[in-house]
Amino acid sequence: MKVFRYFAGLFLLLTVATSCNYLDVVPDNVATLDNAFSDRYTAEKYLYTCYSYLPNFGHAWGNVTFLGGDECWFPDRLKYNNGQQIAQGEQNITNPRFDYWSGRNGGQPLFIGIRTCNIFLDNIDKVRDLPDYEKARWKAEVTFLKAYYHFYLVRMYGPIPLQDVSLPVYAATEQIKVNRDPLDSCFNYIVHTMNKAIPDLPLQIEMESTELGRITQPIAAAIKARVLITAASPLFNGNPDYVSITNKNGEPLFPQEYDPNKWVLAANAAKEAIDLAEEAGFHLLTKDDMTNTKPHIDSVMMKLMLRSRVTQRWNPEVIWGGTSGIAHYIQYEATPRLYPATYNPVASRLAPTLRIAEQYYTRNGVPINEDIDYDYANRYTLRTAGPDERHFIAQGEQTAVLNFDREYRFYSDLAFDRSVWHANGNDDDNDPWVIKNRRGEYSSIFEISQYSVTGYWPKKIVHLENEIRNGSWYYITDYAWPVVRLADLYLYYAEALNEVNGPSAEVYDYINRVRERAGLEGVLESWSAHSRNPDKPKTKAGLREIIHQERLIEMSFEGDRFWDLRRWKLAQQYMNNTIQGWNVDKFDPLEYYRVTPVFFQSFTLRDYLWPIREEELVLNPNMVQNPGW
């Protein structure tokens, strides 16, 4: 297989994606491994090269999760980007989109990344001027990275060939023509490798300005929890669609039966990660944690705080801020035009779909189709905002009923026509920016590739201090993209506990921690008082559905939805639907607020896993393709 031919040589150099941190340093053009590990200085460069294979987490074009599913959409003129081509069913075996197996077409070469980590671990003991404590830490970081790269591949492809050691340059051809290892072996190896790394990692980063993003114990424990909850979920835990898939020697590649103990392991790992994170000082962001924010009335402050749970730098909730994807360009994509300009200061085209707007709760903390007080049947009709709504929707303006009486996260995470937008250069609570998106207005279609095709924008990922001045976009504050937050772990733990024993006080507690921060009552209280199905949280199946929706809301626009729908085996249910938005090419409100199809999306069984490039199968006859490809 071609990727393993690469392994037969010594790979020392990589071009690192541009960022403003320690990852900018790459090894010089050293001739031999002995030179690469001759002293601390050159070895540290090799350490940073091991980090450089991390995916570009915070880039709309470089991270498949933004445009590869049903969460956000781009104008049709930009349909050629890799993510949207996957969302439109144009994945293929000849030149796969986001090919992380071979490292092409938008994907990092993760097998080469694993090889680089193995070379580092094989040689780091040669460095004479490196203290033992620092050597142990570096080894632990690279050991984790090796495990993480394996996990990233497994989550995409299912079973992969495990690469625990480097193949020598004189390896025989048969050593290179490897088989895919069974899925459970892959997960067991990843967890075992992460467990090896955790003890020698630091609990906290002491020098945030230079080491932000380097691996710590809470990071490793949090990702281990993600690994185990992925292994326990329906896609990979006794999935009947995969039981007949074998490698070339007839060995089953996927688990043959459902194993409930995998949820126990996932719950234990999530709790261990929570305990480590809290010991290290992580906590859910609150109003008291807000920085550089002027005084605001309570409702405005609540929205600004919830926006900041992703974007605030040195955020006490973000366990791993992925500095391989600094979130500056995605903010350019996500920000609407806030006032008239003669030329376009922002792209304004990362557009959440109507389905995402509908998934948020009402102000009563239950789904819009369950709330006994919500006018669900007339949600697409018009309503005029009164003085009580002026901090959410411009007073006296009309918008859809759908946009009224929603929870705080709806207004902190989304912008829409006639909604108000606080901060970003305007701190006046009584005279905020107002989004005006009807045909010919300043937030609307500027040119055919720079507008929201649905009429919504992901305000959640735009930092409060970024501004547009005199028609130009100013990057006031970037932030490290949140790979995992504490809220993520709370919901993982609740999910796993519910799968183990069903509803319990502890499950409710961890869901409610996230809900209460969002200004909502607890699950039992909300459903009892406001839902057409008041007993829903009292059954395992009902609470599972609630936890799923809570995750889809809380983790929106952070990349989790893309993977969660797959591991829950719900992607076919969600993505065999029409992508919809408002009729944004119209000025009259009655015409604008018509539900309009953007794309007729389909998702088949084969789309749960990535295809392996056909060329790889030709070069390695022992390799088998994923089902359906």
pLDDT digit string, tens, across residues 269-326: 999 999 999 999 999 999 999 986 678 999 999 999 999 999 998 899 999 997 765 7
Tokens standing for residue 262:
């995998």
Concatenated DSSP letters of 599-624? EE----GGGGSPPPPHHHHHH-TT--
The secondary structure of residue 401, as a DSSP letter, is G
Around Cβ 213, how many Cβ atoms within 10 Å? 24
* Residue 504: CA count within 13 A, CB half-sphere: 12
Q: What is the pLDDT of residues 66-100, one digit of tens each?
A: 999 999 999 988 878 899 999 999 999 999 999 99
Distances (CA, A) of 91 to 257, 386, 529, 606: 30, 47, 46, 10
pLDDT at 5 over 50: no
Q: Is residue 106 scored above 60 in pLDDT? A: yes
pLDDT tens-digit map of 545-554:
999 999 999 9
Beta strands per DSSP E along 82-221: none
Output the average pLDDT for the chain.
91
**What pLDDT score does 324 carry?**
65
Instruction: Give the pair of three-digit tokens for residue 124.
Output: 């780091």
Instruction: Give Cβ neighbours of residue 165 (< 8 Å, ≥ 6 apart).
Output: 118
Predicted pLDDT at 344: 77
Q: Kindly report, residue by residue over 19-55, the tens digit of the pLDDT.
A: 333 233 344 444 577 788 999 999 999 999 999 999 9
Say what the pLDDT of residue 201 is.
98
User: Over pLDDT 90: what percentage of the chain?
Assistant: 80
Task: Name the band, by pLDDT with cuts 50, 70 and 90, for residue 343.
Answer: confident
pLDDT of amino acid 208: 73
Return the HEC string of 449-488: CECCCCCEECHHHCCCCCEEECCEEECCCCCEEEEEEHHH
Mean pLDDT of 476-505: 95
How confident is the model over 374-415, as pLDDT tens digits? Answer: 999 999 999 999 999 999 999 999 999 999 999 999 999 999
The DSSP string of 205-271 is -S-HHHHTTS--HHHHHHHHHHHHHHHHSTTTSS-GGGTT-B-TTS-BSS-SS--THHHHHHHHHHH
